Amino acid sequence: SKAKLFDQDQKVKTSFKDVAGLEGAKEEVQEIVDFLKSPDKYTSLGGKIPKGALLVGPPGTGKTLLAKAVAGEAHVPFFSLSGSDFVEMFVGVGASRVRDLFKQAQQKAPSIIFIDEIDAVGRSRGKNNITGGNDERENTLNQLLTEMDGFGTDTNVIVLAATNRADVLDKALLRAGRFDRQIYVDLPDLNERAAIFKVHIKPLKLSKDVDIDFLSQQTPGFSGADIANLCNEAALIAARKSKKAVHHQDFLDAVDRIVGGLEKKNKIIA
Ligand code: ATP
């Protein structure tokens, strides 16, 4: 496969107000924003700023969104890549890409590095050797550990990584001075779903009959990504019927469609 280097966004527009709910997680990452904004305040007393934090939670709950919002709030560049990109890479490419990523991020420091799906590279070593192991994955993981250890406390690059399986990660990643903090990003509860709906109906032309509280009750188990998808689906359903606005019924039809899709997916998995 053709190797894209990594993504970078020098002017992140995402802020905490784009992230609905997740109050606890936002409070925890606020500290990282403060470190990035005024590192001296922390280091002047001899404290060491953490190098990394792990965002742990189910798919679609806003881990990427939250990481991006940290960069946006701190007004620092955001460098990102996904662990799954490394899986089919040629020998040496993964490690050199990690090296390049960290070098760039340091040049633009203060900055955020975000590694999505870190479990794809960071799975416990040796456990997956049924197929003879994956040397390239190990090389990449080792390079990642080397880079994080090489950071001085004054580097001012903070590495955020996301996973939905912290339990499969190599313990070396979780050691002090690496990803030694875990921040939980859970599925939204009823009130959080309402807050997420409010974010995602904003761009829509809505009929007055839309009842967010009712929709929030009808969507237990939905992630933020599912709700974003639902709002878009409702708008498409309304448009197909040539309506002038998105009505409550369009949201209900979209719920049915998405729940149907989820059930099908679960059946295939089971
Ligand atoms: P994955 O583990 O699948 O990578 P993730 O946890 O990183 O998922 P995101 O990619 O951040 O999830 O979420 C996908 C999209 O869903 C976001 O871009 C946003 O539109 C919506 N979304 C998810 N969570 C929230 C939230 N808490 N508030 C508002 N929108 C959300």
pLDDT in tens, 35-88: 999 888 888 888 888 899 999 999 999 999 999 999 999 999 999 988 887 766
CB of 22 sitting under 6 A from ligand 1:
yes
What is the rounded average pLDDT of the residues 192-220?
96
Return phi, psi of residue 60, to 5°.
75, 15
pTM equals: 0.89
CA of 176 to the centre of ligand 1 (A): 28
CB of 63 sitting under 6 A from ligand 1:
yes
- Ordered DSSP codes for 104-146: HHHHT-SEEEEEETTHHHHBPTTTTGGGT--HHHHHHHHHHHH
Q: Are 153 and 107 in contact (CB under 8 A)?
A: no
- Average per-residue pLDDT in the chain? 88
CA of 68 to the centre of ligand 1 (A): 11
Q: Is 58 annotated as a binding residue?
A: yes
Q: Is 150 helix (H, G, I), strand (E, B) or coil?
A: helix
Contacts (Cβ under 8 Å, ≥6 apart) of 162: 54, 55, 56, 57, 63, 64, 67, 114, 115, 116, 117, 118
| Cα(114)–Cα(78) distance, integer angstroms | 7
Q: What is the ipTM of this complex?
A: 0.96
